[in-house]
Amino acid sequence: MSKTFKDIMDEARSEIKELSAAEVQNLLERDGKHIVLDVREREEYREGHLDGAVSLPRGFLEIKVESTIPDKTAPVIAYCAGGTRSLLAAKVMKEMGYQNVISMSGGYSAWKTAGYKWVQDRQFTQEQATRYSRHFLLPEVGEEGQAKLLDAKVLLVGAGGLGSPAAYYLGAAGVGTLGIVDNDVVDLSNLQRQILHTNDRIGKPKTESAKQTIQALNPDVRVVPYQEKLTSQNIMHIIKDYDIIVDGCDNFPTRYLVNDACFLAKKPNVHGSIFQFEGQATVFYPGKGPCYRCLYPEPPPPDMAPSCQEAGVLGVLPGLIGVIQALETIKLIIGKGDPLVGKLLCFNTLGMDINTLTLKRDPACPLCGEKPTIHNLIDYEEFCNLRTAHAA
Ligand SMILES: [Zn+2]
């Protein structure tokens, strides 16, 4: 005998416990253990939902519920717009082995009418919904992660070999504000690796060229150019507006300067460096891992520290390392995965050897150690013996 809709609903009601909006409100106030499951469509969820509710549209319930709620003994409160879809959803979940599923009668409309708390996620434009659709599909990013990316402020030190790919991908990912510090102009010899810049911009400031390329890629990104050299005088003022610093500089004085400033300002420093065919990346996170000085207390003698200009570099290498820096930055922004804090990724491109070394904080570090001797920024040219070297 075939069943009518009424039969199905009666059957569900006999099996599933229903609570009114007021009862759910009481229950949620008393203990924070319940998982609140919103089984409406994404569009309905987007317009407003219970605080902390997990979105799983009814149409995907059977397919995705076991990955969304792996513990079948967990207490769940399901709701929809009016109480029908959630009742049927709860019945299906019960059949799948969920032991403690309640349906909220009257649904979201009763909840809202009663004046209980609801929240609305960031509203994306149609263009953004399409642009970031592949992020939305990843549960680790989703709309929540994308909103974090759009709100994030990242400062790139250098728009060169490392800064170019890092900034390009951060821009593509929708990092809302990208500050770029570089006092250089585009040179023909840069174009073998510095992919933000183009032939027709030779002689133009790199910050301007970077801004032009990134905004052509993604108009959501605000690019803030700093056409100046980073110094002990200006760095604290510049970095104070940013959440994360990406160090793509090519010289030791700036590297120590960025390290010390990030430590003093308590900002994560996503570090990358390259030499000929080898590259390294790590995250120096004040309070969570070592700093650059823990690894290299002293700079190398100037004649032992050749730049790309002197030593050469395979063009694709800074691409690899800069992209790793972008990836680490995104992980820090969305708060997912294990960042390279206390780990040094070493990339040797000729043998294709990739190693991760564990880094420890040095208790004797003059900056982040137990008895620090550095409390302010210093003269980094002098520290790296560049003054005397130039004079000689
Ligand atoms: Zn240190």
Quote the ligand 1 centre to 361 CA distance (angstroms). Answer: 6
What does the pLDDT read at residue 264? 98
Quote the ligand 1 centre to 369 CA distance (angstroms). Answer: 6
pTM (whole model) above 0.85: no
Quote the ligand 1 centre to 137 CA distance (angstroms). Answer: 39
Quote the ligand 1 centre to 293 CA distance (angstroms). Answer: 5
DSSP code at position 362: -
Quote the ligand 1 centre to 228 CA distance (angstroms). Answer: 27
- By CB atoms closer than 10 A (0-12, 13-18, 19+), residue 370 is exposed
State how far the Cα of 308 lies from the Cα of 313, in Å rounded to an integer. 6
DSSP code at position 4: P
What does the pLDDT read at residue 387? 64
What does the pLDDT read at residue 16? 96
Quote the ligand 1 centre to 110 CA distance (angstroms). Answer: 56
Q: In sequence order, what DSSP letters do the residues of 269-326 get, joined into one string?
A: EEEEEEEBTEEEEEEE-TTTS--HHHH-SSPPPGGG---HHHH-B-THHHHHHHHHHH
Whether residue 280 contacts residue 273, with contact meaning beta carbons closer than 8 Å, is answered with yes
State how far the Cα of 24 lies from the Cα of 28, in Å rounded to an integer. 6
What does the pLDDT read at residue 260? 98
Q: Please report, in tens digits, the pLDDT of each residue of the chain (392 residues total).
A: 799 999 999 999 999 999 999 999 999 999 879 999 999 998 899 889 999 999 999 999 999 999 999 999 999 999 999 999 999 999 999 999 999 999 999 999 999 999 999 998 888 999 999 999 999 999 899 999 999 999 999 999 999 999 999 999 999 999 999 999 999 999 999 999 999 999 999 999 999 999 999 999 999 999 999 999 999 999 999 999 999 999 999 999 999 999 999 999 999 999 999 988 999 999 999 999 999 999 999 888 877 777 767 778 899 999 999 999 999 999 999 999 999 999 999 999 999 999 999 999 999 999 999 999 999 999 998 898 776 544 43
List helix spans (H) across 69-181. 84-95, 107-113, 126-131, 133-136, 142-151, 163-173
Token couple for 64: 């995705």
Quote the ligand 1 centre to 237 CA distance (angstroms). Answer: 22
Whether residue 279 contacts residue 188, with contact meaning beta carbons closer than 8 Å, is answered with no
Q: In sequence order, what DSSP letters do the residues of 15-44 get, joined into one string?
A: HSEEE-HHHHHHHHHH-S-PEEEE-S-HHH
The values of phi and psi at residue 209, to 5°, are -60, -45
Whether residue 269 contacts residue 259, with contact meaning beta carbons closer than 8 Å, is answered with yes
What does the pLDDT read at residue 391? 40
Most distant CA pair in the chain, distance = 100
What does the pLDDT read at residue 392? 37
Quote the ligand 1 centre to 367 CA distance (angstroms). Answer: 5
The values of phi and psi at residue 106, to 5°, are 85, -20
Quote the ligand 1 centre to 269 CA distance (angstroms). Answer: 12
Quote the ligand 1 centre to 248 CA distance (angstroms). Answer: 19
Residue with tokens 């769940």: 76
Quote the ligand 1 centre to 368 CA distance (angstroms). Answer: 4
